[in-house]
Amino acid sequence: MSESFLIVGLGNPGSKYTETRHNAGFWFLGELLRELNATVKPQTKLHSELVRLEALGRTCILAMPTTFMNHSGQAVRAVMDYYQIYSSNLLVAYDELDLSPGTVRLKQGGGHGGHNGMRDIFRHVPEHDFLRLRIGIGHPGVKDRVTDYVLSRPPSGEELEIRRSIGSAIAVLPEVLGDQLANAMKKLHTNSPQTAEK
């Protein structure tokens, strides 16, 4: 329990992308920072804005890559190397097309699911046993519309559901970091899984 734990939220930097669905990982990290009354600072060499603090029962590094989504792995690798983080002590939060807004799922290991940020992390982090927090944003229904969909802001009702689900995820973090993953997943997944229409 003495090792540091890295929590990364994925998104695109810049005001143009702040409110877009693809930045749900940034929304998660931003809300977590508010809960902990913490602020990230730019760390150019680590390609991130981050903060290291004692929280949730252990030493945590909270990071937001300053690379664009497609190069998220560069930032994650740099932070992991600098702070000597094991892949088993890494949690990545990101937007998930295959889950409806309001649904959030926690899992360990698995594939990248076609997510560009996750795909790049896979290239830089060969051990894929890290935790993923998949934040549902829904699916536009047509594959050709996905890019415009993820890079646009959701309607207010959907955004509210996404942000509520983020709050639910933050509520179970003490158990996630306290080696009670099964309990955290049970609490978070109490509702039946919701799959977005395609």
Active-site positions?
A: 22
Closest among 82, 92, 47 to 68, alpha carbons compared: 47
**Distance (Å, whole) CA 93 – CA 107:** 11
Q: How many residues does the structure list for the chain? A: 198
CA distance to 54, 60, 137, 192, per residue, from 105 (Å): 25, 21, 12, 11
Residues 6+ apart with CB under 8 A from 175: 181, 183, 184, 187
